[in-house]
Amino acid sequence: MEMTEIQFFDTTLRDGEQTPGVHFDQNEKVQIAKQLEKWGVNVIEAGFPIASKGDFESVQAIARALKKATVCGLARCVKEDIDCAYEALKEAFSSQIHIFIATSDIHLKYKLKMTQTEVLETIQEHVRYAKERFEVVQFSPEDATRTEWGFLVQAVQTAIDAGATIINIPDTVGYTNPTEFGALFRHLKEQILQFDEVIFSTHCHDDLGMSVANALAAIENGARRVEGTVNGIGERAGNTSLEEVAVALHIRKDYYQADSTIVLNETKRTSELVSRLSGMMVPKNKAVVGGNAYAHESGIHQDGVLKNPDTYEIITPSLVGVEKNSLSLGKLSGRHAFLTRLAELGYHLEKSEAKGAFQRFKQLADMKKNITEEDLHALVLSQEVEK
Ligand code: KIV
Ligand code: ZN
């Protein structure tokens, strides 16, 4: 079966910067954009140029700096937004515009105060206007997953007829689940004649903790672009973590029959850079990039990993740029892990010595959570003194 290449659209610098408390200055944005390019993402949403002078200038600086990745700017269905994005992006080697308007009843009634007919007219007018300035126009019906499906199809069809070649389906408030989101993509595939000619994209939020699963469900059902951020930063509970999607596609290639241009061994470096510049610490137990993602605690697991890492590791640490796994020594550790660690420190104990040392190690481990390198030196040396 043929592999489908999934485009990665990174919005760390736009939706990611919508994380409360996070602000990147222009230099930091350029630094992140260059690392994203190195990581292999296809499109970088560099900002929302109309939002502020600073955002405009950052998008412009990124457009000038990148040589490979496409640079994208966000715009509402407002001509000034589109003109502003055009100005910010005009020097890019490759650019796209991303225009959006909400389509759910709740947004139409309370936020936009528009009828469905008015929204369709606005989509038509502004996608056409954008198409006169950009070769590639991406359209997003905001709050798509809370939009009545019949109207969503009309909105998407209107955007395609007006010239959009990428349709992004946002789960703006993280409301959907994988079964429902997959069904929505299948419905769009049935209803939109040009489904395979245009690129359908997925953009999920993590309010119910399902954004990665939802993105993967969309990919299973025809999405060919995935939007998200590094480390999943973003508005409220955040966005789809792109590093998780990239690694899931790679590890489960057999299942998804899809791949990407992501340079996987740049993953950890990319995550660390975004964490440092955003001030958002990566939780230790976070998939793929968390500090504990390649750490083994229980004796049974440690023994298995020492015999063959495949017993308890589906991701080889070096795949994502992590130097090696770690076997933390504590009360659950077994003799195998203990003696291996001692050997790494240069202590090769006789069988009889090993037995006593292991007993003393267990006594110590009952008193403290983690046994450090210093503890191990002390343990062996005190045994030698007693001899
Ligand atoms: O979550 C959302 O709906 C967005 C749009 C601008 C695509 O970020
Ligand atoms: Zn979003």
pLDDT exceeds 90 at position 370: no
Lowest mean pLDDT among 11-15, 138-142, 331-335: 331-335
pLDDT at 381: 87
Q: Ligand 2: distance of its center to the CA of 30 in Å?
A: 21
pLDDT in tens, 20-71: 999 999 999 999 999 999 999 999 999 999 999 999 999 999 999 999 999 9
> Would the annotation count 239 as a binding residue?
yes
Q: Ligand 2: distance of its center to the CA of 236 in Å?
A: 10
pLDDT exceeds 90 at position 365: yes
Percent of the chain with pLDDT over 70: 99
ipTM of the complex: 0.99
User: DSSP label at 289?
Assistant: T
Q: How confident is the model at residue 95 (pLDDT cuts 50, 70, 90)?
A: very high
Q: How confident is the model at residue 386 (pLDDT cuts 50, 70, 90)?
A: low
pLDDT in tens, 8-17: 999 999 999 9
Q: How confident is the model at residue 384 (pLDDT cuts 50, 70, 90)?
A: low
pLDDT at 369: 82
Q: Ligand 2: distance of its center to the CA of 18 in Å?
A: 9
Percent of the chain with pLDDT over 90: 96
- Closest listed ligand to the CA of 170: 1
CB 341 within 8 A of CB 348: no
List all residues whose CB is within 6 A of at least one atom of ligand 1. 15, 100, 140, 142, 170, 172, 203, 205
CA atoms of 74 and 43, how far apart (whole Å):
12
CA atoms of 317 and 308, how far apart (whole Å):
14
pLDDT exceeds 90 at position 151: yes
pLDDT at 343: 94
Mean of pLDDT over the chain? 97
Q: Which residues contact 292 (CB under 8 A, 6 or more apart)?
A: 284, 285
Return the residue whose CA atom lies nearest to atom 4 of ligand 1.
172
Mean pLDDT of 178-203: 98
Mean pLDDT of 284-309: 97
CB 214 within 8 A of CB 175: no
Return the residue whose CA atom lies nearest to atom 5 of ligand 1.
142
Tokens of 205: 């939020």
Tokens of 139: 């359209």
pLDDT exceeds 70 at position 385: no
> Would the annotation count 325 as a binding residue?
no
Q: Where are the beta strands (DSSP E) in 113-207?
A: 137-142, 166-171, 199-204
CB 284 within 8 A of CB 22: no
pLDDT exceeds 90 at position 235: yes
Return the residue whose CA atom lies nearest to atom 2 of ligand 1.
172
By three-state DSSP, how is residue 202 classified? strand
